[in-house]
Structure 1
């Protein structure tokens, strides 16, 4: 995690204090009728301003030590440490926040942090309507210290839990589908981000991939120099997110993981896509769980080499266009992308013949419950420095990700992710893993769908959800084939 703190009694006591402070804040908001979705937004912007105030205080202290000038972006009455003192005058404080502070934040001028703050506070709201209630929440936030390792670790855990709970209450909220931490961690372990990488998520949501990559680099790089820390903070992490609230949640998550300077944009990735990206602007690591099931109007597809209304296939093209030489990518896709004809088949052909698609991890149906039961796979591919492309694809058929395949997603024994991670690099073949040559894939119209040759369908013992998903996939394949057949007859079937 983010840091190591010794002295178990002190750490445990502080952990309980932080947990209690956040619980008190949530209970206060809940008692005022603020919905879980809204109180996550409320806590996020309060966390943000408190954390930003601590960052500015640290920079001010460092500048003073070095006898250099430093001017706060938020200073005077607008800095958290000033206005948050007014909890004994709650109505006055709430009036100041809703009036002077909010307007000031929405009109900040400058690049970087100023632009991020302006963007955030132009879209989020203060959901507290009573001064006394707002003051009680601010008092709890003031108990937190974002410069303390223990506080940051606990806040990261609590924040992630809040995001999961809210996403569960409102499927599709907070980044389309919340990507669970164990899947993110597995993908990061395959692509192995390192110091010097430019890491990108084109639909960063709550910034899970970026935050986990930051932790991976810290754990595996060794001692970080001042230059390393500066690069990690300012030049490593990039992302685009379309939804204003999700943008705030992702920005806050990066701050909790001690990354202040992530280059996060709020925009529609597909609308700003370019097919010919200069090499210097590409990324060495791309990790993503793009939104799927959406449609994009034809007039907005002009920048794509292969036109398609399917957002998932457009995102895949975007990732391919932005992967640098020597780059590694891991992308979660619905399984329809792996077998559909038409534009999907053309994109798969490009993917297999221009990149090295080395691994496909087939996830169990229900892996993304309670948001969706759609069956998905993770496709890992590299853009190799030597120019070599796919020779064979190693498949792993994951049946147990460590959680039950129901909406509750409770932990269960027998997880196979660790087995996958121990075998993927050496491409060990077994009952649930196998190799397919690119020649075979070409012969079946670049069909990448995982078809385990070591098993036969045991319908009697397969989970009901998996059976349903299997039937839906077969039906989708039939529809695709009929469409292609109809097209070959000029639509005269």
Structure 2
């Protein structure tokens, strides 16, 4: 059985998440809405977490946390705006994960004092304890907090983790299987499947090197339609040590065909009709080609994407 999520059991994680959420008051003071909170914090947390985990080599020196943190006032805000633009520029950044997180990124912060308050507050967090608990659990706790805030509207992209964990334990994903979520949201199903497999394999230590590499870089595939939610998904996966192919796109369009076949599909597809009332544009669809019902169309995608003998679980909550 997979271990229980630290999000619900660790007082340390809850305390740090509460402090991060309280930073939203600073953001709100700058006119930033609930549904923009976590996206805005993600940019800063990504830079700080790379510094805390010794992974800043993914960034050129001029884009690292220390360079932002040491600046003051309008100089800092101008530097931060330029940093966001540069990190999303393929001509300046070769790391695909960084490009995906910062693609089209821009800050809504307008007051230099608020940016400084955020960087100072993030610096003061107990990062030693956060690393011990797992930065992925910390970030997922922030996503959960955002989803629980009704005004944020984020609940539709965040399936409750106890439900996800239950589904994953029933499906029993295994090392070496390709696992797909065509409506990835913030990546909860993929993170839980990875956690389950890590428990079975002693964090991949019982796997051969090529098998462990497959789990980290190739085992998980997915699509997420909403760009900002896709950004949160990538950050969540990255902090859990998953660097697989989860793209921004629509599974009910030809993008979905590019996902290929999977041994396991775990997903919580959206309710209602396709945005704008349009029908799926998949050339391979037949059963749902004439309907705009998203859930039925996702069922057809799952049917077509499963390998022979594959397993699927669909949550409609």
Change (3 A) 1:263 1:52: farther
Match of residue 270 from structure 2: 291
Report deviation, 1:16.
7.1
On the 8 A contact 1:236/1:262 being kept in 2, the answer is yes
Q: Following superposition of structure 1 onto structure 2, how do residues 23-422 of structure 1 map, counting pairs within 5 Å? A: 23-54=21-52, 57-58=54-55, 72-86=57-71, 89-99=72-82, 101-109=83-91, 114-142=95-123, 143=125, 145=127, 148-150=131-133, 152=135, 155-156=138-139, 158-166=141-149, 168-171=150-153, 173=154, 176=156, 178-222=158-202, 224-225=204-205, 227=209, 228-259=211-242, 261-272=243-254, 281-295=260-274, 297-298=278-279, 300-306=281-287, 307-309=289-291, 310-333=293-316, 368=317
On the 8 A contact 2:69/2:119 being kept in 1, the answer is yes
Report deviation, 1:148.
1.2
- Count of aligned positions: 303
Change (3 A) 1:221 1:96: same
Q: Could you list the per-position Cα deviations for residues 5-63 of structure 1 after superposition, in whole angstroms to 9, with x for gaps in the alignment?
A: xxxxxx86x557634641442232234343222212111222223334455x34x8xxx
Distance in 1, Cα, partners of 2:256 & 2:78:
45
Give the number of the structure whose residues are more often helix, by fraction.
Answer: 2
Structure 2, unaligned runs of 5 or more: none
Change (3 A) 1:223 1:239: closer
The TM-score normalised by the length of structure 1 is 0.55
Higher RCO (CA 8 Å, separation ≥ 6 residues): 2
SS of 1:231's equivalent in the other structure is helix
Distance in 2, Cα, partners of 1:45 & 1:195:
32
Change (3 A) 1:298 1:330: closer
Change (3 A) 1:319 1:110: farther
Change (3 A) 1:211 1:50: same
SS of 1:206's equivalent in the other structure is coil
SS of 2:252's equivalent in the other structure is coil
On the 8 A contact 2:140/2:236 being kept in 1, the answer is no
Distance in 2, Cα, partners of 1:301 & 1:201:
17
Provide the aligned C-alpha RMSD in A. 3.1
> Quick check: which has more Rg, 1 or 2?
1
On the 8 A contact 1:123/1:244 being kept in 2, the answer is no
Report deviation, 1:203.
0.9
Q: Could you list the per-position Cα deviations for residues 225-258 of structure 1 after superposition, in whole angstroms to 9, with x for gaps in the alignment?
A: 2725433221222110111111011112223323
Report deviation, 1:222.
3.0
On the 8 A contact 1:3/1:153 being kept in 2, the answer is no
On the 8 A contact 1:191/1:329 being kept in 2, the answer is yes
SS of 2:315's equivalent in the other structure is strand
Q: Could you list the per-position Cα deviations for residues 203-222 of structure 1 after superposition, in whole angstroms to 9, with x for gaps in the alignment?
A: 10011111111111122223
Distance in 2, Cα, partners of 1:33 & 1:299:
37
On the 8 A contact 2:186/2:232 being kept in 1, the answer is yes
